[in-house]
Amino acid sequence: MAEITVHEDAGARIVTVGPMGPHGNNAYIVRDMAAGVALLVDMPLEEGPLLAAIAAEGGVKQVIATHWHPDHWATYDAVRAATGAPVHVGAAEINIPEERIDGRLDDGAEVRVGSLRVEVLFTPGHTPGSISLRVGGALISGDTLFKGGPGKTFAAGDVETIIASIESRLLPLPPETMVLPGHGASTTIEASRRGVAGYRRSPKPSGFFGDVAWPSE
């Protein structure tokens, strides 16, 4: 059953809606509390709870999908109908019909949500164009980084790509940064650093793909 949890930090309100659907997805509403405008990140199954949260927060003017996998797009039509908001994806993402998106976001792009600044981080590996979003002291990591491990990979070489994304783009963030993933519970950059360090002591062989768990976190 979907639950609602809230993280507030320096004028930003981040609402987690989840788990939803058969894969336990999370969606996130990032809201500038003063301006009353918001951004929705991902559109998973369970239309009722998601649309209820969007209505309760109000002001959703933009939607960003972290990557192309269908479980993050399942309520696309309902979200578009409810909000009329444009949908954006990472610049390098694949497998999305162009008529379903309104723009692409480059690495380092800054999305404005009222006075809030949301930084786009290119974090390939789970998919070729996966992105993560930094909002103040929080990181919405899509399916790149989870509590306990990286996102699943699907082709030879991708595990090296996703680990490199995590090490080069995410682990340099402040250790107290809260990591809000596309599925499951939150974690921190500090805990993820410990997890990656454990993985590096016994990495998967070259060409491995599939699920990986940190030896410790």
List, for residues 105-134, the tens digit of each pLDDT value. Answer: 999 999 999 999 999 999 999 999 999 999
CATH of the domain spanning 3-201: 3.60.15.10
Alpha-carbon distances of 129 from 65, 120, 132, rounded to whole Å:
11, 12, 10
* Beta bridge partner(s), residue 113: 116
Task: Please write the tens of the pLDDT for every residue from 48-75.
Answer: 999 999 999 999 999 999 999 999 999 9
